[in-house]
Homo-oligomer: A and B are copies of this chain.
Amino acid sequence: MRSATIGVIGASGLVGREILGWLRRFRYPAESIRALASERSAGQRLSLDSQDWELEALTEERLEGLDLALFATEVTVSRHWVPLALRHGVRCIDSSSAFRRDPSVPLLIPEINGEQLASRPSLVASPNCSATLALLALAPLHRAFGLESFSVCSYQAVSGVGTGGLRALAQERENSEKFSEIFPDRIDQNVLASLGEILPNGFTSEEEKMAHESRKILGLPALRVMSTCVRVPVERAHSLAIQAHFAKPIDRAVAEDALRHAKGLRYTPEHLPTPLRCARNEDCFVARLRLVPPGGVESSKAQDVLLWVVGDQLWAGAALNVVRLVNLLLRG
């Protein structure tokens, strides 16, 4: 059987490049992979892990030749090209937020709800990177104790907005007068509690994604989610301080066991995960598990848990999720 032809759309971007890298690390043959990008980037060569890729302009004809299209594109690009690809019978995985809230499109994290691939959907959405990291840590505890609500405060790296974020931080570090327009204010030596646009209810689009995507992925439409998403002057890897409330009383040994045996997760009670240490790592790291008994009564059983979660949002939070979905789709 010939191997499926896989197209990575948006291959010149940070997530697109990481998807290409992970396809090769999972031994998909280079000759079956196409690197597609905008007209602007077409013709450029991309060197990744001693592999050379030529970026081809995305056209309807080139789309048609694919078996599987992996979109690592802006929401407007996905909105235009994903329906075209589907019309040509190309199966799609989209990393943008374009289709995540569409009830007919499964939103999948293989370690959590990958079984939904059994219905062979033609389009799968891959979730927001912060939501992915939060859910990798919460899902094992949810299975054990029943998640009722959670709150997140994030410490998100500048590469979350792509290469422009990295460039902005580097430029600001070199020149203290400079400030890039990619963020709402200077990011070097600063923190910015505003990611994406501010919605009428006061939450940002990034905070809304955390809520909606968590409900959909865990299949808990009434799940209460509150978050404050914050950009920090870190190059790579997002950190999350999570507080979660569960239906059942929490046994520490059971909770630790659940975290220790979860796929894609590494529980490190002895070592503090930091973005510098977790960057370019496949796993999402969790530590600082704290059980909080109700009403300050130390003897009663806790139903609240605090966690510190750190993961490379380009790997554990994005590219690896897509490539693990590819593995399930093509290798079963």
A positions within 8 Å CB-CB of B: 151, 153, 155, 173, 184-186, 189-194, 201-203, 222-224, 226, 228, 230, 232-235, 239, 241, 243, 272, 274-277, 288-292, 294-296, 304, 306, 308
Contacts and interface: CB of A to CB of B under 8 A. Distances in A.
A12 B274 CA distance: 32
B292 A226 contact: yes
A285 to B, nearest CB: 11
B290 A224 contact: no
Contact of A202 (B202, B288, B296): B288
Copies in the complex: 2
21 contacts: A151-B243, A153-B241, A155-B191, A173-B173, A184-B272, A185-B272, A185-B274, A186-B276, A189-B276, A190-B275, A193-B241, A193-B272, A193-B288, A201-B290, A202-B288, A224-B296, A226-B290, A226-B306, A228-B288, A230-B239, A233-B233
Contacts of A203: 290
A214 to B, nearest CB: 12
Contacts of A288: 193-194, 202, 228
A86 to B, nearest CB: 32
B192 A272 contact: yes
Contacts of A202: 288-291
A292 to B, nearest CB: 6
B272 A155 contact: no
Nearest to A169: B189
Contact of A151 (B151, B155, B274): B151
Contacts of A290: 201-203, 226
B306 A222 contact: no
Contacts of A184: 272
Contacts of A155: 155, 191, 230, 232
A222 B295 contact: yes
A189 B235 contact: yes
A93 to B, nearest CB: 29
Closest CB pairs A-B (n = 7): A153-B153, A228-B241, A202-B290, A153-B241, A190-B276, A193-B308, A155-B191
B193 A306 contact: no
A276 B185 contact: yes
Given A155-B155, A290-B201, A275 B228 contact: no
Contacts of A234: 189-191, 233
A274 B239 CA distance: 19
A277 to B, nearest CB: 8
